[in-house]
Structure 1
Amino acid sequence: MAAVRVIQEIQISSSPSLPAQPPQPLSFLDAMWLQSSTPVERLFFYDFPHPLFHFIDHNLPILTNSLSLTLRHFYPLAGSIRPSPNYDNQFEITCEEDDSVTITIVEFIGDEFRNISGHHSKNFKNLRLLVPKLTKTSLGGGQFPLISIQITIFPNQGLCIGFAIHHAACDGSGLMQFIRSWAAACRCTEPTLDDISPPFLDRSVIINTHGICRKIFEMMRKYKGASGKCLEKQSSLSISDSNLVFATFTLNKDQIGLLKERVQAKRVEEGKPSLHISAFAVTCAYAWRCLVKAQASDGDIKQYFVCAVDWRARMRPSIPSNYFGNCLGVCMAEVNSRVLVEKNGNEVAAMEISKSIDALQGKDVYEALIAVIDRHWEPARSRRLSVAGSPKFRVYEVDFGWGRPVKVDITSIGGTRAISLVENREEAGGMEIVLVELCSNAIQTFGV
């Protein structure tokens, strides 16, 4: 039976140390995630053919020192989120002088590194052992931490750096800024603050237009009462179920190209002009159709596909690309189950996803969010698929000094029934699709 043995737990503060900073009010794009009970969880696996003592003596000081420097720029991550003492129904990030981030060092026992880090189907319960716990017992008064880190050593084989972060702290782009900065500092012989690109931390650039935060919370409460039971039924997988497997499927560049060609051929057949179809759209469409076919859904059920869209360049005026916080809009595509599983289901799904993304052009983030909320949370007899991650994050370029990761996984999809999407490690232009399913379902899901 697989298990982990805790070696030590370390609290890392910023260096040089910072005095207490003014509280940072959460923007409405941050506050949307406050009710999410599932942190974002990312695992980075690396080859590390050295014994445990080598890591403790040689690598751990480099990792902790470089993290301390990185937190000088990303200091909000060492803070905590709390209700604002000055305003009702508002929250803020508070940063005190002695704030820190927890790193837990553990040794993995009972399974081989290749079994845990491979692209093949693997036991999800074992994978969860690599995920840090996002807790800090010293917090009270409604406060909770933003991030936790766990480094799991497989002696003489490899290691895994795991992150758990509350989504209200930042989006995927912000998290990857932090991880890349830490990795860059690790690679330097004697890192300094000049080696770390600072993020843009001013959350006041996200303006609460139209009182959207209040409207969003009202709709969420209404949704929970009206259709929460339906959602609970759809998302009934328990992440502790020993029968869950974590499965990775890949599409190479040629396969994605073929999927694109089929969409354009369908457009020509219908007498319509060609449409810009991205690799993201056809990959998501392919996964969507496969999963609906595996579910054997009623043909009259509406199927929804939902994905987050980076709004940094779409804001008016645009905000810096290194903005650290949440800056996500949402787009949604809708297809009837019967249409989705038919012969041309891939092509129809890809076109609907592409049109949904193109329709965001020129829209205010408020308009886009409200439109999706109205459509996404009202139907009782509907199902939806969401996607975590993005191939634009280039996760396989994150090098802490041991080379490229052998695998990067997002384990938080196990609690949301989403899929994750990253670039194909082995081939430029390809994609990796990951899902969590019961053993009996996972094998057939993409076997179509």
Structure 2
Amino acid sequence: MASNDPEVKIIEISRVCPFINSPQSPTFFSIPLTFFDALWLKFPPVESLFFYQLTDSTRLNFNSEILPKLKHSLSLTLLHYHPLAGKLTWHPHADVPIISYSPNDAVSLLVAESNLDFNRLSGDDIRESPESRHLIPELLSSDESASTMALQITLFPNQGFCIGMSMHHAVVDGVAAIAFKKAWAYLCRQLGNQHPSLLPELTPFSDRTVVKDPTGLCKKCLKNWLDFKVSDDSELNQRSLKILEDLVVIQNSVRATFKLSGEDIKKLKEKILFKLQQKKPTKHFHLSTFVVTYAYILVCLVKSKSVEGNKKFSLLFLVDYRNRLVPPLPANYFGNCVLTRFATLEASIFMDEDGVAIISEKISNMIREIDEKGIHEAVEENLESWGNMEGEEIFSIAGSNRTKFYEIDYGWGKPKKIEIISIDRTGAISMTESGDGNGVEIGTVLSRNEMEIFKSVFVSGLQDA
């Protein structure tokens, strides 16, 4: 945390509650978790950094204008997103954990100042991964309860500021998290209006009763966590809500961002399609930007590892089920509504001369098969997959090339850089649209040696495309 770094100084510790002078101000409420939520009960939080370059961000300007606007608009946003001001609890006699809120609950907000190099931290080049952690607040959790969100706003005098967000994964998925961020930014821009209000598409639908569970999937997901052991000799607290600190530990890790331009992606699609049509000329292939980007990065990652060809790797991506349920959920449903799709393959497949094409076809087929399974079968498959992948290296995706992260403008311009920080805990790869609107950005956290090899493979592969 920032308080342990002499170059990041905490200057204020505060709590922000939903705006109290409003008929919409919440009093007491509780929301039970659904099976979609329970799947992520102890998973590391969703952590992100939004860097805003602003040379006018002096201490005076920051304290008199920027910070007050961010705080007030946050308070207004929490009127709509009040679960994020609450906490997660699991009462002794309750079957399912709940998100609860009472009038004394609030979001923890740290305000910090840093003399670190803003441009380096918000850049793409290889840098020490732990540095970014000083800009992210800790999401508190214990056996009895867990915070649902924590925030940190860090000023880099005369350079800019960044907003660090840590959000409980059992409370939000990526779609819900980005909706909150867009709503907060929208209301911050509207503060000059007398009665700022949210757009309908940014107003959350929080009724969890619309997720039906006649077969007891939620209890099965919770049992999966109750049976989970970090190690063979670990002590189990059957109802502990303590979040797992890390799923993956990478020693001496470094972080970097790589970009595929629109032209790069076009060339990759053409090359992949040519190779696939040579082998299966009558088949139709769905090669989206997501498919070819993920396949290319997977091949680069496996080639960066010093492994035998029979070493197994698992690829995994999330699927939004909002419009796949019967009846479908509203697009603005606030909560988790994602399941995983996964496959396990040997390293030799990734390292094949046509590895990118082979993996692209595999991912394309996995996407096409999504709607062939009912929701019960899909959840059971998710529970089984996590057990079967134990001991295997997993390459998952955090974010999406369709999130439009770079549209999140609080009134001082669009972000210079977006970082999904939690990939250093989960081993995932981050994916967002490119900041310049031309292509895709990929975030990676690897050991320094693997990162150097990955960079070389990534660049040379595009030259051959």
TM-score (norm 2): 0.88
Q: CA 1:47 to 1:236, structure 2 compared with 1: closer, same or farther past 3 Å? A: closer
Contact (CA 8 Å) 1:223, 1:378: kept in 2 or not?
no
Please state if 1:388 is matched with 2:398. yes
Deviations along 1:381-439, one digit per CA (max 9) or x if unpaired, are: 633211111122110010011111000001100011111000111243x1111111122
1:297 is displaced (CA, Å) by: 2.1
SS of aligned partner of 1:183: helix
Deviations along 1:144-179, one digit per CA (max 9) or x if unpaired, are: 210011000000011100100110111111111111
> How many Å separate the matches in 2 of 1:226 and 1:159?
40
Q: Runs of 5+ in structure 1 lacking a partner?
A: none
Aligned to 2:249: 236
Q: What residue identity is the alignment partner of 2:129?
A: F
SS of aligned partner of 2:144: coil
Which residues in structure 2 correspond to 1:49-128 (within 5 Å)?
49=55, 50-84=57-91, 86-88=93-95, 90-109=96-115, 111-128=116-133
Q: CA 1:403 to 1:318, structure 2 compared with 1: closer, same or farther past 3 Å? A: same
**Alignment partner for residue 317 of structure 1, among 295, 315, 327?**
327
Contact (CA 8 Å) 2:314, 2:389: kept in 1 or not?
no
Please state if 1:297 is matched with 2:296. no
1:2 is displaced (CA, Å) by: 5.9
Contact (CA 8 Å) 1:301, 1:381: kept in 2 or not?
no
> How many Å separate the matches in 2 of 1:19 and 1:75?
7
1:330 is displaced (CA, Å) by: 1.1
Q: What residue identity is the alignment partner of 1:177?
A: A
**Alignment partner for residue 441 of structure 2, among 432, 440, 447?**
432
Aligned to 1:264: 273
Q: Runs of 5+ in structure 2 lacking a partner?
A: 235-244, 458-465
> How many Å separate the matches in 2 of 1:94 and 1:31?
15
**Alignment partner for residue 152 of structure 1, among 126, 151, 154?**
154
Aligned to 2:9: 5
Q: How many residues are aligned here?
A: 435
Contact (CA 8 Å) 1:329, 1:365: kept in 2 or not?
no
Aligned to 1:418: 428
Q: What residue identity is the alignment partner of 2:35?
A: F
> How many Å separate the matches in 1 of 2:232 and 2:320?
28
Mean Cα deviation higher: 356-365 or 345-354: 356-365
> How many Å separate the matches in 1 of 2:69 and 2:49?
20
**Alignment partner for residue 336 of structure 2, among 311, 326, 329?**
326
Q: What residue identity is the alignment partner of 1:414?
A: D
Aligned to 2:177: 175
1:254 is displaced (CA, Å) by: 1.4
Deviations along 1:262-298, one digit per CA (max 9) or x if unpaired, are: 2222221113412111110111111111111111222
> How many Å separate the matches in 1 of 2:432 and 2:413?
18
**Alignment partner for residue 193 of structure 2, among 190, 196, 205?**
190
Aligned to 1:446: 455
Aligned to 2:51: 45
SS of aligned partner of 1:210: coil
Q: What residue identity is the alignment partner of 1:337?
A: A
SS of aligned partner of 2:449: helix
> How many Å separate the matches in 1 of 2:414 and 2:233?
41
Identity %: 34
Contact (CA 8 Å) 1:332, 1:353: kept in 2 or not?
no
**Alignment partner for residue 202 of structure 1, among 198, 207, 212?**
207
Contact (CA 8 Å) 2:205, 2:334: kept in 1 or not?
yes
Contact (CA 8 Å) 2:38, 2:222: kept in 1 or not?
no
Cα RMSD for the two superposed structures = 2.4
Contact (CA 8 Å) 2:341, 2:366: kept in 1 or not?
yes
Which residues in structure 2 correspond to 1:244-255 (within 5 Å)?
244-255=253-264
Q: CA 1:8 to 1:382, structure 2 compared with 1: closer, same or farther past 3 Å? A: closer
Q: What residue identity is the alignment partner of 1:194?
A: S
Contact (CA 8 Å) 2:217, 2:379: kept in 1 or not?
no
Q: CA 1:311 to 1:234, structure 2 compared with 1: closer, same or farther past 3 Å? A: closer
Mean Cα deviation higher: 216-225 or 58-67: 216-225
1:362 is displaced (CA, Å) by: 4.4
1:369 is displaced (CA, Å) by: 2.7
Please state if 1:211 is matched with 2:221. no
Q: What residue identity is the alignment partner of 1:54?
A: N
> How many Å separate the matches in 2 of 1:7 and 1:225?
36
Q: CA 1:308 to 1:302, structure 2 compared with 1: closer, same or farther past 3 Å? A: same
1:14 is displaced (CA, Å) by: 1.0
SS of aligned partner of 1:5: strand
> How many Å separate the matches in 2 of 1:257 and 1:274?
17
Q: What residue identity is the alignment partner of 2:440?
A: M
Deviations along 1:79-110, one digit per CA (max 9) or x if unpaired, are: 1110035423x10011101221121110002x
SS of aligned partner of 1:11: strand
Contact (CA 8 Å) 2:339, 2:382: kept in 1 or not?
no
> How many Å separate the matches in 2 of 1:94 and 1:193?
27
Mean Cα deviation higher: 435-444 or 406-415: 435-444
Q: CA 1:385 to 1:224, structure 2 compared with 1: closer, same or farther past 3 Å? A: farther
Q: CA 1:131 to 1:57, structure 2 compared with 1: closer, same or farther past 3 Å? A: same
Please state if 1:336 is matched with 2:380. no
> How many Å separate the matches in 1 of 2:207 and 2:105?
20
> How many Å separate the matches in 2 of 1:381 and 1:11?
41
> How many Å separate the matches in 2 of 1:381 and 1:97?
45
SS of aligned partner of 1:447: helix
Mean Cα deviation higher: 333-342 or 403-412: 333-342
1:333 is displaced (CA, Å) by: 3.0
> How many Å separate the matches in 1 of 2:229 and 2:268?
38
1:342 is displaced (CA, Å) by: 1.1
Aligned to 1:133: 138
**Alignment partner for residue 30 of structure 2, among 9, 16, 23?**
23
